[in-house]
């Protein structure tokens, strides 16, 4: 391939202190390989496996396509999503393909058809759910499953979602919701629950029905055995409802003009109703709000023969329950007391002091869907003072509102740390408006994990000239993109796909057109006709 002078691609690499090194397109491949396997954002742990050696667990956070589903692993948090069963969540332990299942979750509903017949609908009836990858990296993993609700005759009744955030300490934050909207196929939902199947020999016996409307409670599902190294499993919740306000008006901070809000509301709030009629609908002029019906939160944990069940309350009448919402957590534990530590971490929230930014979402800024604190950066230099913490927890702080396309300099007590950068590319996370599916943009969020202790800490965030490697949320290719202060903000220097290890769309500075459309970053023998002969099966960061 012939490269013309105007097509020469340059990339800036940053060292500390910041310096720039100019490189040309014919050596871009070693750079990307180095970034992917040596960069501190990813860590380094090559995947090694032979006939006499078990698979090596990843060191960082990554989703791995497996036969029949997606495996997600980061630290002590390990899950599997079954593609053949609506993306139902399994919490697992061990190594693929022989890991053991700690628990399996499935949403189940009973309905009355318009004919009067009884119907059953399960999440697991959908054999082609849509998987959206929200975030991957060393600090956390995020994934969303969208599925349809079918009965045994494959009749569509509605849709649902689960959004899962995995933390290295074993916590799994779960948002689940369904909406029954095909009113021509059924007249009412008569029973709604989440089935939690567990190993019977280690199942913890509940004293009775547990009230989930009481905040800050936990239930041990599986008993741990620290001596034998067998993990336990606990279920717990903050309030069981969505507390974090993702629709923050700018007028609340004395700001005028468009837009009226800081960010587009989250997907759950957009897609699933909480009430019969929203505030903005006039009950006198609107005879039927759409989607019809009221919403419900989980109310009970109930013992069951195969494990446990989480029940939603049902209301009949002229306005039956049609939307079902759940906010809870699961965590692998070594001791029973570990679960209480997680509960206390959400009960006693941190009160931080902020300059150069604002606490986002009201209150103390705690995002109960993701398990992190949100701070919006509004000035050139953001400084966050984090108080002492007798619990010794690891706090995840999500700085949003980044506006640059160069380096993001983060320091904790004046020592540099590596943030986990992500972006939605400015694409609204809304199922009700036409949007382009694939984002492309520089980082607008940085996640930093801070280990707390008996001393206060100061976290500073500053956008500087330099380079950034940023994950593109909801991108079907699971792309990381490289932006720098000399290219962008609209176009990246290159894209690196976690799915196939390919580098794509390499551009010169400020150029929309590509120098190289795609480079097959893989090595193979005999034309590479089998996966065993190709080095493009990513297994670790």
What's the farthest any 2 CA atoms get from each other in the chain? Answer: 75
Amino acid 389: pLDDT: 95
Amino acid 310: pLDDT: 98
In sequence order, the 6+-apart residues with CB closer than 8 A to the CB of 284 are none
Q: What is the pLDDT of residues 502-533, one digit of tens each?
A: 888 888 776 777 776 666 555 445 555 555 55
**CA distances in angstroms from 202 to 42, 221, 233, 306, listed in the order given:** 36, 8, 10, 12
Q: What is the pLDDT of residues 276-311, one digit of tens each?
A: 344 444 444 444 444 555 788 999 999 999 999 999
Buried b (16+ CB within 10 A) or exposed e, 513-529: ebbbeeeebeeeeeeee
Which residue matches tokens 């959206």? 132
β-pairing, 232-237 vs 420-423, is unpaired
Q: What is the pLDDT of residues 102-141, one digit of tens each?
A: 999 999 999 999 888 999 999 999 999 999 999 999 999 9
Task: Choose between 98 and 429: higher pLDDT.
Answer: 98
Do residues 240 and 328 make contact, with C-beta atoms less than 8 angstroms apart?
Answer: yes
Amino acid 193: pLDDT: 97
Task: Choose between 260 and 341: higher pLDDT.
Answer: 341
Which residue matches tokens 């913490």? 389
Distance (Å, whole) CA 510 – CA 195: 53
**CATH 2.70.98 residue window(s) in the chain:** 64-244+294-347
Q: Could you tell me which of 72, 196, 59 has the C-alpha nearest to residue 131?
A: 72
Distance (Å, whole) CA 521 – CA 501: 6
Q: What is the pLDDT of residues 432-463, one digit of tens each?
A: 565 665 678 999 999 999 999 999 999 999 99
In sequence order, the 6+-apart residues with CB closer than 8 A to the CB of 437 are 474, 476
Least confident of 3-12, 233-242, 307-316, 477-486: 3-12
Distance (Å, whole) CA 87 – CA 99: 18
Q: Does position 51 have pLDDT exceeding 80, yes or no?
A: no
Reported as a pLDDT band with limits 50, 70 and 90, residue 343 is: very high
Amino acid 182: pLDDT: 86
Q: What is the pTM of this model?
A: 0.84
Q: Does position 275 have pLDDT exceeding 80, yes or no?
A: no
Amino acid 521: pLDDT: 53
Amino acid 13: pLDDT: 30
Reported as type and span, the H/E element at residue 34 is helix 28-38
CATH class, domain 64-244+294-347, is mainly beta
């Amino acid at each position: 391939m012939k490269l013309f002078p105007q097509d020469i691609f340059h990339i800036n690499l940053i060292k500390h202190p910041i310096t720039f090194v100019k490189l040309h397109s014919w050596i871009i491949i070693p750079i990307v390989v180095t970034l992917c396997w040596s960069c501190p954002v990813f860590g380094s742990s090559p995947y090694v496996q032979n006939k006499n050696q078990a698979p090596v667990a990843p060191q960082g956070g990554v989703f791995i396509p497996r036969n029949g589903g997606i495996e997600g692993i980061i630290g002590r948090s390990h899950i599997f999503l079954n593609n053949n069963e609506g993306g139902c969540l399994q919490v697992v332990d061990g190594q693929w393909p022989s890991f053991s299942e700690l628990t399996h979750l499935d949403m189940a509903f009973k309905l009355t058809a318009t004919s009067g017949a009884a119907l059953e609908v399960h999440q697991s009836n959908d054999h082609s759910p849509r998987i959206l990858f929200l975030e991957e990296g060393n600090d956390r993993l995020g994934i969303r499953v969208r599925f349809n609700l079918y009965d045994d005759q494959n009749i569509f009744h509605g849709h649902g979602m689960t959004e899962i955030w995995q933390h290295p300490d074993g916590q799994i934050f779960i948002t689940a919701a369904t909406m029954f909207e095909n009113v021509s196929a059924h007249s009412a939902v008569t029973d709604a629950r989440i089935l939690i199947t567990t190993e019977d020999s280690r199942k913890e016996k509940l004293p009775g029905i547990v009230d989930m409307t009481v905040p800050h409670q936990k239930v041990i599902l599986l008993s741990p055995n620290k001596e034998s190294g067998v993990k336990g499993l606990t279920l717990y919740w903050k309030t069981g409802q969505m507390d974090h306000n993702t629709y923050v008006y700018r007028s609340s901070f004395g700001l005028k003009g468009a837009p009226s809000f800081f960010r587009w509301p989250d997907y759950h709030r957009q897609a699933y109703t909480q009430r019969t009629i929203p505030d903005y609908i006039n009950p006198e002029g609107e005879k039927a709000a759409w989607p019809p019906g009221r919403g419900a939160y989980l109310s009970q944990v109930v013992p069951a023969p195969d494990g446990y069940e989480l029940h939603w309350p049902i209301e009949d009448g002229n306005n039956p329950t049609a939307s079902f919402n759940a906010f809870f957590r699961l965590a692998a534990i070594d001791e029973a007391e570990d679960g209480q530590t997680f509960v206390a971490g959400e009960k006693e929230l941190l009160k931080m002091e902020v300059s150069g930014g604002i606490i986002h979402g009201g209150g103390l800024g705690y995002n109960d869907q993701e398990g992190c604190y949100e701070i919006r950066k509004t000035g050139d230099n953001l400084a966050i003072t984090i108080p002492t913490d007798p619990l010794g927890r690891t706090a995840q702080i999500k700085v949003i509102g980044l506006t640059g396309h160069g380096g993001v300099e983060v320091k904790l007590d004046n020592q540099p740390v590596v943030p986990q950068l992500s972006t939605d590319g400015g694409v609204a996370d809304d199922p009700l408006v036409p949007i382009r599916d694939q984002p492309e943009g520089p980082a607008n969020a940085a996640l930093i994990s801070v280990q707390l202790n008996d001393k206060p800490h100061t976290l500073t965030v500053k956008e500087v000239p330099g380079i950034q490697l940023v994950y593109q949320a909801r991108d079907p290719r699971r792309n990381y993109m490289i932006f720098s202060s000399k290219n962008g903000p609209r176009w990246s220097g290159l894209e690196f796909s976690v799915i196939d290890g390919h580098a794509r769309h390499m551009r010169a500075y400020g150029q929309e057109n590509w120098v190289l459309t795609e480079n097959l970053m893989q090595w193979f023998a005999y034309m590479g006709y089998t996966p065993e002969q190709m080095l493009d099966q990513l297994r670790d960061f």
